[in-house]
Chains A and B, each alone.
Chain A
């Protein structure tokens, strides 16, 4: 064999080898690409699973089961003297009316133990319902009326999700089935969930107290962190001399933004509550802690916004004889404001979802009343979610998911506002 043939053979071998390796390399490329796509899809999948599981658990909490009972407004029970005094009417034992109605509905129930089980079908909230009715119209006393009363959470779970989702047993199931056959059960929109404070009874528990608490906390955070953050950003960006001190401040702010939130809670506990002796569980303290937490975010965003204002604006203002302060406040600040507000809203959205530091300063107490001021003990929405998630009752799981939906709705709203602000006022220089 001549050298030429040898060379041709070798070349062919080389080409084949290259083609082989090309196939392999392309395959590997495709595999790598698929892996990447898989990662993106997996991330989306997690998001989807989370949302769908929360929505599927939570949507049913917006409905509440009512029981229809014929209530006899017995004058003997409500107002034996017949004076129709509002105080007497308000303190009457309305529970007896409900019990009497239930006894009448199920005359066969005689034993004391069984009766107690029977009474448990109707929520204790029914008492409040009857009291409100009588107080608004005392003429109702002595009459008989078919009324829809709030059912107990066990009945609620049974009616909405079926037998195996409820703690009802034996006789109770039979009774409820009887009610169902008579069309004496229905679901209605759960207004309680939005108008009531927390409660031990799932069917009466609502998020109003937590929402109001969150509102106070966020307002304090906004009121303190926006001016402070903007002022700090202006100083650092426009006035401060470039030296080691400002470098130190800058590193400090960047580090603060990454400090775990629970450490801010420890700070709040040690400084605000222990040292300044501010009241525990108060939205004021919560707002102060969250202010410190959101400040770095706002400062960083505000500085970026100030940086994006072109120097020509500053120079023009200075050239027209404005002082540096006038230049900043009259010309630069208005242009940077949308960016600052966007950063602030994002920081506040973080603060709204924050739980851990608020646990530290005692905002975890069980509070029924709706807070009236920033010094009243209160809880906030995420903490309420945490508290309910700990409760063993199934009905609370449902309400936890519903509260999460409300919280997420607020967060989405805030982020939409931020996006809208950015779109509307964003300027390209």
Chain B
């Protein structure tokens, strides 16, 4: 702020108050100085914060007695963690002894030193940046183009964050998955028929085979998604057709937003609804007619997920139905077709690619949906096609494997990343396919 003001003032001074002589408007000189002042300092701050902890810890580690330094990596890590906790006044897991106390003091000392030098260099950076920018200012100095180039770069960097995110997802998930596949062969994962991720802690432990077969999870996911789609597709498609072709304008303005409310409800609410309302209902209803329905049946989760997806299907089909040219409808009516016949024989076939694309998007949604299945579906992996039994899905397993404190290297946690990779690939393929189909279709009628 001060730099902005300084820059404005200084530029005006240079031309003795006659702003016509400046190349750019005074405030651009202000922006220029302010950017030069702030950006390097912020950059330094981020860099420092990022590096200093690791650097200090390694310096502390170097000072430790040899006995401790020669510990295995994991234990050394643990020890250093204790030192950190001690220095920050937290509770340590091991007993505090003199060495640890000394190390903690050393850490505190270094930390203080680091903070001091950070402050000093920040101030230096600010002053240097401001001085450098101010010195450049003279009436001929083209500050506006400079500032604009810089802003343009910042905009470009923001735009590439989307790419970085994708890259981040792919890399982080891929790396952990590769580590997982070093422990478990890929073929076992892809074609194994058993999933029980409990790795045996002791040799003689029972029931902890540590099997990582992906097939039952995939089957469970598909079963739930299938149930969801059998609910969502007819209802969503029919309501879209009705609202687009039959309903009056009045009903449409009311019904469409109401249906879209269903899309705005958080999934955790659906999960609650599935687990506490639908599942008991199904179980009681099942026992009344002599069926044995599991309280965590795939049916309950699938039904509720279907309800969630209805607006998704209906709004996407609504778009494509409206995109069918009116001339095609008129032609059909002129031949004497009823509305139903027009819809079934002309509009739906014409809109089919778009509808299929929408359904594919909905399927990818159903596969990636987490909270409903976490709350309403089961945990045990059954390879079954019976919707009344309990199944588990990919997302449920990711959540159960990762929630709770675990060390990061165990096969269990890494398995979650492998599942995440599978999930990402499946949904990505579905999305790309769906977007492609929808795009092709749109071009046809434009």
Chain A residues engaging chain B, CB cutoff 8 angstroms? 25-26, 28-29, 31-33, 35-40, 42-44, 46-47, 50, 53-54, 57, 227-229, 231-232, 234-236, 239-240, 248-249, 251-256, 258-264, 266-267, 269-271, 274-277, 292, 295-296, 299, 323-325, 349, 352-356, 359-360, 362, 364, 382-383, 385-386, 389-390, 397, 400-401, 404, 407-408, 411, 415
**List of B residues within 8 angstroms of A252 by Cβ:** 162-163, 166
In this complex, what residue of B is CB-closest to A388?
Answer: B272
Instruction: From A36, A53, A57, A382, name the one whose CB has the most chain B CB atoms within 10 angstroms.
Output: A36
B283 CB–A CB distance under 8 Å: no
Within 8 A of A (CB), among B143-164: 144-145, 148, 151-152, 154-156, 158-163
Within 8 A of A (CB), among B358-397: 361, 364-365, 367-371, 374-375, 395
A197–B161 Cα distance when bound, in Å, is 36
* Chain B 231-262 interface mask (CB, 8 Å, partner A; 1/0): 00011111101110111000000010011011
B99 CB–A CB distance under 8 Å: no
B435 CB–A CB distance under 8 Å: yes
Chain B residues engaging chain A, CB cutoff 8 angstroms? 50, 53, 144-145, 148, 151-152, 154-156, 158-163, 165-166, 168-169, 172-173, 175-176, 234-239, 241-243, 245-247, 255, 258-259, 261-262, 264-273, 275-277, 307, 310-311, 314, 338-341, 343-344, 361, 364-365, 367-371, 374-375, 395, 398-399, 402-403, 408, 416-417, 420, 423-424, 427-428, 431-432, 435
- Taking a contact as CB atoms closer than 8 A, the residue among A44, A53, A385, A397 that contacts B258 in the complex is A44
A156–B261 Cα distance when bound, in Å, is 33
Asked whether B168 lies within 8 Å of A389 as measured between CB atoms, the reply is no
Asked whether A235 lies within 8 Å of B158 as measured between CB atoms, the reply is yes
- Taking a contact as CB atoms closer than 8 A, the residue among B262, B271, B338, B395 that contacts A25 in the complex is B338
- Taking a contact as CB atoms closer than 8 A, the residue among B238, B273, B403 that contacts A53 in the complex is B273
Determine chain B's interface SS by DSSP, over half rule.
helix
Asked whether A266 lies within 8 Å of B173 as measured between CB atoms, the reply is yes
- Min distance, Cβ A282 to any Cβ of chain B, angstroms: 15
**List of A residues within 8 angstroms of B159 by Cβ:** 231-232, 235-236, 240, 249
**List of B residues within 8 angstroms of A271 by Cβ:** 168, 172
Asked whether B266 lies within 8 Å of A382 as measured between CB atoms, the reply is yes
A47-B262, A232-B161, A255-B432 known; A266+B399 contact, CB < 8 A:
no
A296-B162, A415-B264 known; A36+B246 contact, CB < 8 A:
yes
A47-B261, A389-B272, A389-B275 known; A255+B338 contact, CB < 8 A:
no
Asked whether B154 lies within 8 Å of A231 as measured between CB atoms, the reply is yes
19 more CB-based (< 8 A) A-B contacts, given A39-B235, A43-B311, A239-B155: A25-B341, A28-B341, A36-B243, A39-B242, A42-B239, A43-B259, A44-B258, A235-B159, A236-B159, A249-B159, A252-B166, A253-B162, A295-B162, A299-B162, A352-B266, A356-B374, A356-B395, A383-B268, A397-B276
Asked whether B255 lies within 8 Å of A353 as measured between CB atoms, the reply is no
Asked whether B246 lies within 8 Å of A325 as measured between CB atoms, the reply is no
**List of B residues within 8 angstroms of A407 by Cβ:** 266, 269
Asked whether A249 lies within 8 Å of B370 as measured between CB atoms, the reply is no
In this complex, what residue of B is CB-closest to A28?
Answer: B340
Asked whether A36 lies within 8 Å of B368 as measured between CB atoms, the reply is no
Asked whether B340 lies within 8 Å of A43 as measured between CB atoms, the reply is no
Asked whether A270 lies within 8 Å of B172 as measured between CB atoms, the reply is yes
- Min distance, Cβ B349 to any Cβ of chain A, angstroms: 16
Q: What are 23 A-B residue pairs whose CB atoms fall within 8 Å in the complex?
A: A28-B341, A39-B235, A39-B237, A40-B247, A44-B259, A46-B307, A50-B273, A231-B154, A231-B155, A231-B159, A253-B162, A255-B428, A258-B361, A263-B368, A266-B402, A266-B416, A270-B176, A275-B172, A325-B148, A355-B268, A385-B272, A386-B271, A407-B266
Instruction: From B155, B173, B270, name the one whose CB has the most chain A CB atoms within 10 angstroms.
Output: B155
Asked whether A323 lies within 8 Å of B234 as measured between CB atoms, the reply is no
**List of B residues within 8 angstroms of A263 by Cβ:** 169, 173, 368, 420, 423-424, 427
A33–B161 Cα distance when bound, in Å, is 48
**List of B residues within 8 angstroms of A33 by Cβ:** 242, 246, 339-340
- Min distance, Cβ B227 to any Cβ of chain A, angstroms: 15
**List of B residues within 8 angstroms of A240 by Cβ:** 156, 159
In this complex, what residue of A is CB-closest to B337?
Answer: A25
- Min distance, Cβ B127 to any Cβ of chain A, angstroms: 27
Asked whether A355 lies within 8 Å of B267 as measured between CB atoms, the reply is yes
- Min distance, Cβ B384 to any Cβ of chain A, angstroms: 24
A253–B160 Cα distance when bound, in Å, is 10
A33-B340, A37-B242, A323-B144 known; A353+B423 contact, CB < 8 A:
no
- Min distance, Cβ B132 to any Cβ of chain A, angstroms: 23
**List of A residues within 8 angstroms of B272 by Cβ:** 54, 385, 389, 400-401, 404
- Taking a contact as CB atoms closer than 8 A, the residue among A255, A277, A415 that contacts B431 in the complex is A255
A31–B403 Cα distance when bound, in Å, is 50
**List of B residues within 8 angstroms of A253 by Cβ:** 162
A252–B163 Cα distance when bound, in Å, is 7
**List of B residues within 8 angstroms of A390 by Cβ:** 375
**List of B residues within 8 angstroms of A37 by Cβ:** 242, 246
In this complex, what residue of B is CB-closest to A280?
Answer: B405
Asked whether B269 lies within 8 Å of A385 as measured between CB atoms, the reply is yes
- Taking a contact as CB atoms closer than 8 A, the residue among A36, A47, A258 that contacts B242 in the complex is A36
In this complex, what residue of A is CB-closest to B402?
Answer: A360
- Taking a contact as CB atoms closer than 8 A, the residue among B156, B238, B264, B399 that contacts A39 in the complex is B238
The 10 closest A-B pairs by CB, nearest first: A260-B368, A36-B242, A353-B266, A39-B238, A270-B172, A231-B158, A356-B370, A32-B340, A235-B155, A232-B159
A323–B432 Cα distance when bound, in Å, is 38
Asked whether A43 lies within 8 Å of B235 as measured between CB atoms, the reply is yes
- Min distance, Cβ A64 to any Cβ of chain B, angstroms: 21
**List of B residues within 8 angstroms of A382 by Cβ:** 266, 268
A276–B54 Cα distance when bound, in Å, is 10
- Taking a contact as CB atoms closer than 8 A, the residue among A231, A234, A389 that contacts B276 in the complex is A389
Asked whether A234 lies within 8 Å of B155 as measured between CB atoms, the reply is yes
Asked whether A256 lies within 8 Å of B166 as measured between CB atoms, the reply is yes
